[in-house]
Structure 1
Amino acid sequence: MKKLIVIAIIVASFVTLSFSFYYMLTIYQSDLGITSAAEPMANEHAQRIVIISQEQGSFMMNEIQKGAREAAEEHQIKIDFWGVYRSNLEGLIKQIDIAIASKASGIIVEGVDHPDFDLMVKKATEKGIPVITINSDAPNSLRKSYIGSDHYQEGIIMGEYIATQLKGKGVVGVIKNLSSPSTDELRLKGLNEVFSKYGGIKLVFATDDEEMSQPKMQANDILNHYPDVSAFIGLSTDSGESIVQAAHSRSRAKNYPIFIFDDSPQTVMLIKNGQIQAGLSQHYEEMGIMSVNLMKRWLDATQLPLENSYFTPISVVTSSGEEEKALENHSK
C-alpha cells in the first residue's frame, strides 16, 4: 500500500513538473515572439484595415466594400467597414479617431477637403497608421495616396457627351451635391472647359441657399427661375429620380434630357426607361480592390512611396447598355 502511495506521489510530481516546464517554455517563447507551429498564437498582430465611408449603405459603398473584401480575402488580412449614413464631417472624423484608437494597421476613407479632416489624418500618420483616400480626395492632407475617379476628367468626358447630344446649344440646369463641394468643383471645371468651346451652352444653378440641399428642390428652383432650361446635369449621385420627378411634374409634354454622374441600379433603370439620357460609371468595385492592394503594399513596405493618385476607369453609360467612352487606369 505504501509502495502504491509513493508511486502515485512520484507520478503526480512528474506531471506537475512537466506542466510547469511547459508553461515556462510558453512564456519564454512568447517573450521572444516565437509561436508554436502546431498551436499558432492568436492573430493579435495580424494586419487590420478599416474602411470608413461618408455614405454607408449606398450603392457606391456597397460596391467598394465588395471589391475590398475580395482583395482582403486574397491577402488574408482583416478588414472592417465603418462609416456614417449621411455625409457628416463630424461623424466621419469621430470614426477615424476611433480607428486610430483601435490601432488599425491602415485606414481607407472617403476624403474631405477640410482642415479638421487634415488634422485627423496627421494624427493617424503620427501614430504610424497610413491613410489612403478613396472616391473623394483630401489633397492637402498627409494621406499616402488617392484611389478613385479623376473628377475633373469626369467633367470632360460627360461634357463632351452632353455637348454632342445637345448639338452645342441649350440652357442646362446643374444639380449640386452640397456635401461634396470639392468633387463638384472638379466636375464643373471639366464641364466648363468643354462647354467654353460651344457658345450656345449655358449652365444655370439653383439659388445659393443651404435649404436647397435636396436635388428635387434645386430642380424646381431652376425651373422657376429659368423657364427656358432645356436639360439637367446631376453632379450628385442618386439624384436622377428626384430630377425626373421635378421635371415631369412641371411638363409632361416637354422632355428634358437628364445626365447624371452616377450608375446606381436606380439610375440605370431610369436610363433604360428613357427618363435619363446617360449616366457615368466610376467602377467602384475596382476602387475597393485597388485600395486594399495598395494599402497592403504600403504595410509590407513593398512599394514606398505610393503614387500620389491612382485613377480608376470612367465610362458614359447609355440606354444601349454600352459604355460609350472610357478613361483607362492611370496614375499621377
Structure 2
Amino acid sequence: MKKLILIAIISSSFLTLSFSLYYMFTIYQSDLGIASRAEPMLSEHAERIVIISQEQGSFMMNEIQKGARTAADAHQIKIDFWGVYRSNLDELIKQIDIAIASKASGIIVEGVDHPEFDRMVKKATAKGIPVITINSDAPDSLRKSYVGSDHYQEGIIMGEYIATQLNGRGTVGVVKSMTSPGTDELRLKGLGEIFGKYPGIKLVFASADNETLQPKIQTNDILNHYPKVDAFISLPADSGESIVQAAKSRSRMKDYPIFIFDDSPQTVMLINNGLVQAGLSQHYEEMGEMSVNLMKRWLDAIQLPLDNSYFTPISIVTSTGEEETAFENHSK
C-alpha cells in the first residue's frame, strides 16, 4: 500500500514538473519572439539578398532601402544592407567579396565600370551567386541585369528642358562628378545630342587641373575662364549648394540658372527657394523594390534570363513641387 502511495506521489510530482517546465518554456519562447508553428518564421537556410552601396546613408540609398524592404517583406526573404559611406572602389570590392564568402543568395550592388568590379562579379557568378547592378551599371560584367535610370535618357530629357529655359542660347558650365565618370559620360552624351540642335548653346568645363575636384572649385574655375557663363549643369547629386555658394560669392548682381541631376531634400529645398531652377527625380524607391523582385524571379527560376536592363521613370522636378513624368518605366 505504501509503495502504491509513493508511486502516485512521484507520478503526480512528475506531471506537475512537466507542466511547469512547459509553461516556463512557453513564456521564454514568447519573450524571445520565437514563432509557433502557426506563425512560421524565416529559417537560417532562407534566401538572403545583400544590397551594397557606394553611398551608404545617402538620400538615394535610404530610398532604395525602403523599396527593397517592401519587396523583401512581400517575399519573406532576408535582406542585408552593406556599403561604404564615401565612394571607395577598394572598400566596395571588399564588401562584395565578403558577401560572396558569406554565401549570400544574391547580390544587388551599385555598378562600377572597372576591371576589379568585373572580376568580383565573375567570382560571384562562379559561386552560383547572381549579381544585379542598381542605379549605376557595369555593362561589361557578368551581372544578370541592371535596374535604374537610363542615364543617357536623363541627358536627353534635361537637355531639352534646359534648351527651352534658355531659349536656345547661352554658355552653360558643366560641373562633373568626382566618382561616377561612367554615369557622367552617358548624361553628357544625351546633353550633347540635344544641344547639337541648338548652335547657340555652348557647353564649357573646368580646366583639366580642376575638372575632377570639388564642385565649388570647378564652379570657380569655370567662372574664371568663362566670366560670361549663363547657367550651370551639375552632373553629380548633392552639389547644388556648393555651386550656389560659388556663384553667389563671385557675382551678387547675377542669378545663374542651375540644373541638377538630383532630387534629394537638399536640392528640393534649393529649388523651392529659387536658388536652383530644376532637378531630376530618378525614383529610387522603385529601383529598390524592382531589383529585389527581379532577384527573387531569378532565384525561383521564374525568368531566366532576365532582360538586360530595367529602366525606372525619370521626372523633371520644378518649384511647383510637382514632377513632370518624362520617361516611363520599361525594360530593354
TM-score by length of 1: 0.88
Given that 2:210 and 2:217 are in contact with CA atoms closer than 8 Å, whether structure 1 keeps it comes out as no
Question: Does the aligned pair in 2 maintain the 1:173–1:204 contact within 8 Å?
Answer: yes
Provide the residue aligned with 2:269 in structure 1.
269
Letter in 2 for 1:200: G
Kindly report the root-mean-square deviation, in angstroms, between the aligned alpha carbons of the 2 structures. Answer: 2.1
Matched residue, 2:163: 163
Return the letter of the residue paired with 1:269: M
Structure 1: distance between partners of 2:331 and 2:212: 36
Matches within 5 A, 1:165-180: 165-180=165-180
Q: Could you say what secondary structure the match of 1:213 adopts?
A: coil
- Aligned-partner Cα distance in 1 for 2:40–2:62: 34
Contact 2:42 2:77 (8 Å CA) reproduced:
no
Runs of 5+ unmatched residues, structure 1:
12-35
Q: In the alignment, what sits opposite 1:33?
A: none
Q: CA deviation at 1:2?
A: 11
- Pairing 1:103-118 to 2, within 5 Å after superposition: 103-118=103-118
Question: What is the DSSP-based 3-state SS (H/G/I as helix, E as strand, rest coil) of the residue aligned with 1:60?
Answer: helix
| Letter paired with 1:130 | P
- Give the letter aligned to residue 313 of structure 1: P
Task: Name the amino acid aligned to 2:205.
Answer: F
Contact 1:50 1:79 in 2 (8 A): yes
Separation (CA, whole Å) in 1 of partners of 2:147 and 2:314? 13
**Quick one: distance in 2 between partners of 1:96 and 1:85?**
15
Give the drift of 1:323.
1.7
Letter in 1 for 2:284: Y
The amino acid that maps onto 2:173 is: G
Kept after mapping to 2: 8 A contact 1:157/1:325: no
Deviation digits for residues 154-212 of structure 1, max 9, x if unmatched?
00000000000001111100011121000000000000000000001111111223684
**Gaps spanning 5+ residues in structure 2: where?**
12-35
Describe the SS at the equivalent of 2:204. Answer: strand
Pair 1:298-2:298 in alignment: yes
Tell me which residue corresponds to 1:132: 132
Q: Report deviation, 1:57.
A: 0.4
- Which residue identity does 2:69 align to in structure 1? R
Give the 3-state SS of the residue equivalent to 1:136 in structure 2. Answer: coil
Q: How does 1:186-197 map to 2 (within 5 A)?
A: 186-197=186-197
Given that 2:176 and 2:211 are in contact with CA atoms closer than 8 Å, whether structure 1 keeps it comes out as: no
Tell me the TM-score normalized by structure 2: 0.88
Task: State whether structure 2 residue 209 is matched by structure 1 residue 225.
Answer: no
Write the distance in 1 (CA, Å) between the matches of 2:276 and 2:42.
53
Residue by residue, what CA displacement relative to the aligned partner does 1:8-52 show, whole Å, maximum 9, x if unpaired? 9xx9xxxxxxxxxxxxxxxxxxxxxxxx96897971210000000
Q: What letter matches 1:143 in structure 2?
A: R
Cα distance in 1 for partners of 2:197, 2:223 equals 25
AA of the residue aligned to 1:99: A
In structure 2, what is the Cα distance between the partners aligned to 1:297 and 1:315?
28
CA contact (8 A) 1:171 1:231 kept: yes
CA shift, 1:142, in A, is: 0.3
1:231/1:72 CA distance change after superposition, 3 Å: same
- Paired AA for residue 329 in structure 2: N
Q: Distance in 1 between matches of 2:243 and 2:330?
A: 33
> What is the DSSP-based 3-state SS (H/G/I as helix, E as strand, rest coil) of the residue aligned with 2:50?
strand
CA distance in structure 2 between the partners assigned to 1:56 and 1:209 by the alignment: 29
The change in CA–CA distance for 1:170 and 1:42 in structure 2 (over 3 A counts) is closer
Q: 1:3 to 1:97 in 2, by over 3 A?
A: same
Asked if 1:324 corresponds to 2:327, the answer is no
1:24 maps to: none
Mean CA deviation greater in 202-211 or 278-287 = 202-211
Distance 1:38 1:232 in 2: 60
Report the alpha carbon displacement of residue 3 of structure 1 after superposing the two structures with TM. Answer: 6.4
Alignment of 1:30-49 (within 5 A): 43-49=43-49
Cross-structure match for 2:85: 85
Q: Matched residues in 2 for 1:266 and 1:39: separation?
A: 43
Instruction: Identify if the C-alpha distance between structure 1 residues 66 and 39 changes in structure 2 by more than 3 Å, giving closer, same or farther.
Output: closer
Q: Which amino acid aligns with 1:105?
A: S
Q: Counterpart of 2:73?
A: 73
Q: Which amino acid in the other structure matches residue 254 of structure 1?
A: K
Identity %: 83
State the Cα deviation string for residues 270-291 of structure 1 (Å, max 9, x = none): 0011000000000000000000
1:52-71 residue pairs with structure 2 within 5 A?
A: 52-71=52-71
Which residue type is aligned with residue 173 of structure 1? G
Aligned to 1:98: 98
Q: 1:144: how far off?
A: 0.3
Q: 1:51 maps to which residue?
A: 51
Aligned AA (2:177): N
1:121 aligns with 2:116: no
CA contact (8 A) 1:173 1:229 kept: yes
Q: What residue number does 1:253 align with?
A: 253
Q: Which residue type is aligned with residue 95 of structure 1?
A: Q
